[in-house]
Amino acid sequence: MSLEAIFDKRIVFMTGKGGVGKTTLSMALAWAAQERGKNVILMEVDKSPNLRYILGKDIPVYKETRIAPRLAVFTLEPFKALEEYAALQIKVAAAAKLFLNNRFVSYFMQAAPGWRELVTVGKIWHTHQRTVGRGKNKRPEYDMIVVDAPATGHGLSFLRVPAIFADILKFGRMQSQTKDLLDMLRDPERTVVNVVSLPEEMPLNEAVTLADMAKSTMGMQVGVTFMNGVHPEPFLPDEKAACDNLLSDEAARNTLDQIWPCSGKALFDAAADRQARAQSCRQYLELAAKRLPTPIVELPYEYPGRVDMDGVKRLANLISQALCGGV
Ligand SMILES: Nc1ncnc2c1ncn2[C@@H]1O[C@H](COP(=O)(O)OP(=O)(O)OP(=O)(O)O)[C@@H](O)[C@H]1O
Ligand SMILES: [Mg+2]
């Protein structure tokens, strides 16, 4: 699969260890896709405060909210998805609501395993099925659904549940619906899983496990690994040589201390720290290239470590360039 083909997928899952930047990069990828003319919806499986921070406003749960002409966001909520599913099956929303809100039914649902994951994937499937227009003008409502998956643990396991149900259910409407979900997840034309990682030990280990699990255990297509938060080299080679010279020249250091008491040393410490970070990132990137089965897209660390909408747009540009060689 070419990297550019990621923009042609209907459903793009973004997974990775907790806190590596899944929400930030889901938003950046969604932004990049809408800049390329796609109608996009970003679906977050878990409500994230970070998406609200990026957008600078609260987003209601389970309500499609348009944030740009070609971009909507949506926060999933399993019980609401179940209500919607039940209403589609029972055909009368009020009756479905009454049934699910029954004290005994809701008590049972608290304990029942798997349904949250199943209705979550079901909602994604249902959204990708929706169309607008009629006749010749009929087309999918959304060209692309970017799914901000929860942190690993139940990060990819929510995608495993349809396969488990498909094994259990041998006949009936639910069996065929579950099969539709599986077909969607395993169809490389429609669906891809991207992994998000940081150039650090644990996130990289997790990224390797996730990429392997998505491909081997779940039979899904794996796209790229976004290596997020890469610290750039702080100095050009000439600048680094000048800096090293200055550091090894005691007289020069003393002069600096005199004209800039205290801060001179702090400045060199900060420079050394940034250099060490950049070096460590380079080492993990080399390791990642050996261990990961996917192409790697490097994305920089954005100082001061909190990405707002402007930062998302910068990252979106870099994603576009990396996947397609420029917008
Ligand atoms: N490239 C980057 N440079 C600097 N900070 C970043 C970068 N990407 C993400 N962050 C910051 O890291 C923090 C975690 O990011 P984010 O919420 O996107 O991670 P997550 O993987 O979705 O987390 P969770 O698993 O909790 O949902 C946020 O404060 C975000 O602004
Ligand atoms: Mg998140």
Give 246 or 42, the one with higher predicted confidence: 42
Mean pLDDT of the chain: 90
Nearest to 303 by CA among 234, 215, 217, 221: 234
pLDDT at 260 over 90: no
Ligand 1 centroid–CA 229 distance in Å is 9
Rounded CA gap, 124 and 45, in Å?
Answer: 10
- Roughly what angle, to the nearest 10 degrees, separates helices 250-259 and 263-291? 120
Judged by its nearest atom, the ligand closest to the C-alpha of residue 54 is 1
By most ligand atoms within 8 Å of CB, the mutation choice from 54, 297, 307, 317 for ligand 1 is 307
What pLDDT was estimated at residue 214? 94
Of 72-76, 215-219, 316-320, give the lowest mean pLDDT range: 215-219
What pLDDT was estimated at residue 105? 63
| Nearest CA, atom 18, ligand 1 | 21
Of 59-73, 82-96, 129-143, give the lowest mean pLDDT range: 82-96
Provide the sign of the torsion angle of the four alpha carbons 317, 147, 217, 178, taken in this order.
negative
Ligand 2 centroid–CA 135 distance in Å is 39
Judged by its nearest atom, the ligand closest to the C-alpha of residue 229 is 1
What pLDDT was estimated at residue 75? 97
pLDDT at 109 over 70: no
Predicted confidence band of residue 299 (pLDDT cuts 50, 70, 90)? very high
Nearest to 265 by CA among 277, 273, 257: 257
Q: What is the pLDDT of residues 200-220, one digit of tens each?
A: 999 999 999 999 999 999 999
pLDDT at 15 over 50: yes
Give the ligand 1 atom nearest the CA of 148. Answer: 22
Residue 13 phi, psi dihedral angles, 5° rounding: -90, 135
Report, as an integer, the average pLDDT of 119-139: 94
Ligand 1 centroid–CA 306 distance in Å is 7
Pocket of ligand 1 (CB under 6 A): 18-24, 48, 50, 151, 228-229, 299, 301-302, 305-307
pLDDT at 280 over 60: yes
Domain 3-233+294-324: assigned CATH number: 3.40.50.300
Q: How much is the pTM?
A: 0.92
% of the chain beyond a pLDDT of 90? 65
Give 98 or 318, the one with higher predicted confidence: 318
Predicted confidence band of residue 327 (pLDDT cuts 50, 70, 90)? very low
Chain center to CA of 49: 15
Judged by its nearest atom, the ligand closest to the C-alpha of residue 22 is 1
| Nearest CA, atom 11, ligand 1 | 306
